[in-house]
Structure 1
C-alpha cells in the first residue's frame, strides 16, 4: 500500500509568480521530451495541487486535456479562450490545455487539484465523494484517493491482508494521496471529502 504524503512534496513556483504547484504523481511520456516541448514535455499525465495567490495567466499545456477542481477557498473565476467560468469548490471542470487560460480570485486565494492528460493517450477524471466511517471507499488500480477535508485512515483490502490478519489503519493527513491497486485494494474510512482521480488509458 502506497501513500504519498503531501507534507513531503516540494513546492515549485509558477513562472508568472502567481502561485506554486506540488506534483502528486505523474507518468513518463511514451514519446521523448524532445518531441514534446514545453512545460508538459516528459510526461503523459500529471496530478498536482496548486496554490493560486494572484490573478493572471495560466501556463499553456498544448496537446493536453485538463480537469481543474477548487479544493480550498470559495471561487476561481476561470477564463478559457475568452469565456468566463465561475468554478466553485468541489466542482471539477474540464477544458483544453491548448486554450488561452487565466484566473481571477474574487474571494481570495484558492488551492486547486489539477489532472492533466495527453490527448489521445490518457483520459483523466475527478470525482468528489463523501467518506463514511461505516462503509470503506476502495481505491482501485489507475486511481488516486486524495483526502481533501476531514479525518480518515486507510487499510489494505481484505484480499491483501488475509481473512485472519489484523491490519492497523494508517492515518491520512489533509491532501495525502493513496495509490490504488487491484491486488491489495486500499480502503479508506472516515469523515470528510475525498477526491478520487482516475487515469484511463485511451485504447486505439
Structure 2
C-alpha cells in the first residue's frame, strides 16, 4: 500500500527514516517486534512464525489469510540505534493491557475510549503508538542488537488481535494506485494524526484502554 506513496514522493516506506545513500544504516518505525503473539486459527503464535496463507483473527472480519509477510531488521547500523527508532514499552496495566507490551513508535494501535466517541463519534480509535509517550508506565526502550520487525499484510487493511489486549492495524498488500484506478472505496481504516492522537491520550486516565472482545478471544 505504501509503495506507491514512496515512488511518488521520494520518501521511504516501511516507516524508515531518510538515509540519503543506499549503503547508509536504516531503521524501522512500524511493524511488530519479534516475540509479539497474535491470535490465529491455530491459537496464539509469534509473528516470526507466521507465513503467507496463515489465517489470523481480525477485529471486523473474523479469520483472514495473510497475503504476504515482510520482515526487516529494526536497525542495520553498526553503531548504537538512534533513540527515534527505539520501541515503546507499555508496562502491564498501563492501558488495561494484561501484560507488558513492546510496540514500534509509528505502529497504529487501536484504543477504546469514551472520549474518542465524544470527539469523533466512534469509541474505537487508531493512533500511532508514539502518541502514548509520556503516559504512566509508557517509555522508550533500546532494541536488542538483532531485533527484527514483521509486517503482516492482508488483501484489505485489517485490525488484528495480539496478546495482552493489544489491537493493531495491518496494511493491505495493495497500494493506493489500486484504489485510485479502481471502483473500490478507499482504505477502510484511518489513523489519527499525531496531534489529534495526543489529544486523545490526555483522556487515557479517564478510561481509554486496549479492549478486545474477550468473548471473541475465548476460543483462541
Higher helix share: 2
Larger RCO (CA within 8 A; separation ≥ 6): 2
TM > 0.5 fold call: no
The two structures have a TM-score, normalised by structure 1, of 0.31
